[in-house]
Structure 1
Amino acid sequence: MFKVVVTDYEFPDLAPELSVFDGYDVEFVTGPFASPDEVIAACKDADAVINQYMPIDAEFITQLSNCRVICRYGIGVNTVDMPAATAAGIMVANVPDGSLDDVSDHAAALILALARGLGIYDRAMRSGKWNYQAAQPLHRLRGGTLGLVGFGNIPQRLAEKMRAFGMNTVAYDPYVNPERAAAADIRLVDLDELMRISDVVSVHVPLTESTRGLIGAAELALMKSTAILVNTARGGIVEEDALVDALRRNAIAGAGLDVFAVEPLPTNHELTDLENTIMSPHAAWYSEESEVEIRTKTARNALTALTKGQPIYLVNTDVTPRPQATTFATNGAVL
């Protein structure tokens, strides 16, 4: 029998995950746990750990005596200390393709809503004002430049969608294959040039030590006063204090934010007072379809790692996995 522990989750039930393990000899432990210590105690002898938001740091990882794989819901693995997991021989898995359309649609929606002043118009009308000038000045997207910070699957889809609105696209990504960018008709530029020439800057890089604070005061100062910034990646990539300052001074035209340095966003945060923002609660990934897909694939990562030796979506490809200590059986047959 294998033991699989879910550290935390915000779903009403775990039906999609349980359906993946149906017919297999698995002890599935889900909490809820009263404290982080209870989570660690439950995970100590787990063969696989499924994780949503709870940080799995180096100290946590030292407690995992049997664990072979940590499976993250979604794309980001910033909740897991990757070097510590790799050093311990623990595979880390994610779901890189569970919400590609959902996140790129959400980024496009934020761009369109900001470009057309929809947040300002909506608030004005709810307060009894009927005035087309409430959101001025507005500028056309057609002929403008979309700057993608990162050029993975999501920003590539966003570029395709915004091309329908007449936008040209540039991208900054030091890891991308130039031929891949050229095939998509995307010009690669350095970050400073992207910030200077873009009418829309959309952030799509993972949160790592090298990307934390990637867009700060210096980068924001390069932006056009008519430009907008959209972040559907991770909050720590953009320095929030610098962004608030730029928005207050109208140094940039607006920001569409789905992610924040601290989540949930604290009550009365400075961003909530700004008219030139549109915000959502880390929801870009969400649709009914994407939620089921992500949860199902997360569970399949765990099952596949335990039954076949490697998850479907392995992130730390340089890991030397721990030997498997547990014998797995299904329907009475040893695999």
Structure 2
Amino acid sequence: MFKVAKFHVILTDRAWPDADVERKILGEIDAELIETDGPQDALKEAANADAIGTCWAPIGKDIVDATQKCRVISRFGIGLDNIDVATATARNILVTNVPDYCVDEVSDHALAMLLTCVRKIAFYDQRIHNGEYRLQAGPPLRRLRGQTLGLVGFGNTARALREKALALGLHVIAFTPSGNDHGSGCEMVALEDLLQRSDYVSLHAPYKSETEHLMNADTFAQMKSSAYLINTSRGGLVDQDALATALEDEKLAGAALDVFTPEPPDLQHPIFHDERVIATPHAAFLSEESLQELRTRAARQIVAVLSGERPENIINPEVWTDKN
């Protein structure tokens, strides 16, 4: 006899090969996992969903409003720019995320990018692969110790990067609208001051309307011509056309980018043909350990909500208060 599952959970997309981990965890409460294929498929399944899990796919007002019994939208990640949190809150739907699962990986990746810029590793590697073994081909190298790293945003990842950078002898300053140093003793400065003083500017801000194209022609003009931009946060923080122009006009020394708008990006864009730009395919979050942690914790939050328990990390706690 065919048995109908107690709960139905949508998984809109994933950045890993299968959904076995999620399916096993959800199976503990007799929840069926339904993988959808694109926004229209998710929209079609939304009405019957008790929960929605999403990685990068947009969960807009249309999908949220189409739900009839959804209790939680679980972000398999940190940022929330792909979820209409306001509409979910208005509909009394909890929104959860996993804000610290890849702090080590992203801070390591940002530091690796910085070191690659400092020592011109990608430049020399590319030249050698193209048949040129010549030390003199590279631009001047500077000693890392004593240079200044500016952190735009000062959340978990930025604070982890600061500790690693300090160990290498870098001076670290940071900007955040609140000016909160989280008890770290980090020198907090205005954005303009940070841009003017930093040899390396690393972005760790959330993407929202106020931060869209935070790095643009005006902000690039405030940076040192010898400075580098590092972005492991969100592609929308950077105006890619303005970055290409700044590089072409030699107003920046280079950039190291892990995130883009859109993704995947147009690889014909000028930034991808500039040897001063290091690019990786949104890989900063990735390790076997971080993926296992992310998948487990995000799925467990769905299980908690559907079991009537408070999940680990609620973005809109007012919804939980209303329900309990």
* 1:151 and 2:154 aligned: yes
Deviation at 1:24, TM superposition (A): 1.7
| Structure 1 residues 210 and 310: CA distance shift in structure 2, 3 A | farther
1:126-275 map, 5 Å? 126-178=129-181, 180=182, 183-275=183-275
Matched, 1:36 2:42: no
The DSSP-based 3-state class of the residue aligned with 1:308 is coil
Cα pair 1:70 1:92 within 8 Å, conserved: yes
- Establish whether residue 12 from structure 1 lines up as the match of residue 17 from structure 2: yes
Residue in 1 that maps onto 2:276: 276
- What TM-score comes out, normalization by structure 2 length? 0.94
RMSD: 1.6
Instruction: List runs of 5+ in structure 1 lacking aligned partners.
Output: 325-335
Q: Provide the rounded CA distance (Å) in 2 between the counterparts of 1:239 and 1:85.
A: 29
Where does structure 2 lack aligned partners over 5 or more consecutive residues?
A: 1-5
Shift of 1:309: 4.2
Q: Which residue of 1 aligns with 2:86?
A: 83
Q: Residue 278 of structure 2 aligns to a residue in which SS?
A: strand
- Could you tell me which residue of structure 2 aligns to residue 329 of structure 1? none
1:315 aligns to what SS in structure 2?
Answer: coil
Asked whether the equivalents of residues 86 and 320 of structure 1 are also in contact (C-alpha less than 8 Å), the reply is no
Distance (whole Å) between structure 2 residues aligned to residue 114 and residue 253 of structure 1: 9
SS state at 2:307 partner: helix
- State the Cα deviation string for residues 49-93 of structure 1 (Å, max 9, x = none): 000121111122110111111111111111101211111111111
What SS does structure 2 have at the residue aligned with 1:137? coil
Offset at residue 259 of structure 1 (A)? 0.3
Match of 1:332 in 2: none
Distance apart, 1:245 and its partner CA? 0.9
Task: Give the alignment's TM-score, normalised by structure 1.
Answer: 0.91
Give 2:240's aligned amino acid: E
Question: 1:226, 1:313 → 2: CA distance?
Answer: 41
Q: CA deviation at 1:138?
A: 2.1
State the 1:322 CA deviation: 7.4
Aligned-pair distance for 1:316? Answer: 2.1
Distance 1:210 1:318, change over 3 A: farther
Distance 1:132 1:146, change over 3 A: same
Counterpart of 1:319 in 2: which secondary structure? Answer: helix
Deviations 1:145-190 (A, max 9, x none): 1100000010101011111211011100123534x2xx42310001
Are residue 314 (structure 1) and residue 314 (structure 2) matched?
Answer: yes
Q: Do 2:174 and 2:188's aligned partners in 1 also have CA atoms closer than 8 Å?
A: yes
Q: Give the one of 47, 60, 64 matched to 2:63.
A: 60
- Give the 4+ runs in structure 1 shifted more than 4 A: 320-324
Contact 2:42–2:63 (8 Å) recurs in 1: no
- Aligned-pair CA distance for 1:21: 2.2
Q: How far apart, CA to CA, are the structure 2 residues paired with 1:149 and 1:133?
A: 34
Identity of counterpart residues, as a percentage?
40
Per the TM alignment, residue 139 of structure 1 is displaced from its structure 2 partner at its CA by 1.7
Asked if the contact 1:91/1:321 (under 8 Å) is kept, the reply is no
1:283 Cα deviation after fit? 0.5
SS at 1:212 equivalent: coil
Query: Which fold has the larger relative contact order, with Cα–Cα distance below 8 Å and residues 6 or more apart in sequence?
Result: 1
